[in-house]
């Protein structure tokens, strides 16, 4: 039976549209839920609410997943930040391809540098990208950064020199910590980090509710 999420996403697209085909081979996807690896990672899954660039919820569950190696690397970064008084706040991880297509369709052409081209797929679709910020361990509150999450302006650039020195320092701390664990920041989004093995995984288009059965339908495993 089609899930509620699948129905929402299918309604936004012509039936014939589908993710791009890739030759592979790829590693078998092994998506894990971040809070099951470390419950102290905090979530603020905006795409499960109307508070996002689409103006409506595009997920029916506020959950975040990554491929296992990326999830384990993220947890190491999260724990390393503890000594600085911070933890990792996750906005998004694995993203079904149809959500990427929807974001492309609702974004004005002049702002599309901030969204992935569905014709190529996104590293989020592969389960190897995460949208992140920091929260204060003492208060649990999200910290101030040079821009808001998903803000489509120059303030979102990782090398933006405006804003407060404190906000830039926190942004740079997040970046340095993630880079030590094999992530790289997206050139125009301080919050978007890609794991080094992203090309080893296929573009996926399944809702969160079907992730537990993914292993039974995964493509051939790609050797490291």
| Per-residue pLDDT reduced to its tens digit, 82-105 | 999 999 999 999 999 999 999 999
Catalytic pick from 33, 72, 113, 189?
A: 189
Cβ contact 62:35 at 8 Å = no
SS3 state at 194: strand
Residue reference for tokens 């407060």: 164
Which pLDDT score, from 0 to 100, does residue 217 have?
58
Cβ–Cβ contacts within 10 Å for residue 4, how many?
11
Go through the domains of the chain in sequence order and give each one's CATH number. Answer: 28-213 (3.30.1380.10)
CB-side neighbour CA atoms (13 Å) of 26:
21
Burial 132-160 (b: 16+ CB within 10 A, else e): bbbbeeeeeeebebbbebbbbeeebbbeb
Please state the rounded mean pLDDT for residues 193-202. Answer: 97
| Per-residue pLDDT reduced to its tens digit, 73-83 | 999 999 999 99
pTM for this prediction: 0.87
* Residue 189 known to be catalytic: yes
């Amino acid at each position: 039976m089609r899930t509620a999420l699948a129905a929402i996403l299918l309604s936004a697209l012509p039936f014939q549209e589908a993710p791009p085909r890739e030759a592979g081979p790829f590693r078998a996807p092994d998506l894990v839920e971040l809070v099951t690896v470390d419950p102290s990672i905090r979530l603020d899954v905006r795409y499960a609410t109307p508070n996002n660039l689409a103006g409506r919820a595009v997920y029916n569950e506020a959950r975040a997943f990554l491929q296992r190696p990326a999830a384990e690397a993220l947890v190491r970064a999260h724990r390393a930040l503890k000594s600085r008084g911070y933890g990792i706040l996750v906005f998004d991880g694995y993203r079904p391809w149809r959500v990427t297509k929807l974001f492309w369709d609702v974004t004005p052409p002049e702002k599309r540098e901030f969204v992935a081209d569905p014709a190529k797929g996104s590293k989020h679709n592969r389960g190897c990208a995460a949208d992140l910020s920091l929260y204060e361990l003492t208060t649990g509150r999200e910290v101030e950064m040079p821009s808001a999450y998903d803000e489509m302006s120059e303030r979102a650039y990782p090398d933006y020199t405006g804003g407060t020195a404190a906000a830039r320092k926190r942004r740079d701390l997040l970046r340095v910590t993630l880079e030590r664990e094999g992530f790289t920041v997206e050139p125009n989004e301080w919050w978007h980090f890609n794991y080094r093995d992203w090309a080893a995984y296929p573009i996926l288009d399944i809702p969160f509710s079907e992730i537990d059965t993914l292993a039974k339908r995964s493509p051939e495993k790609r050797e490291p």
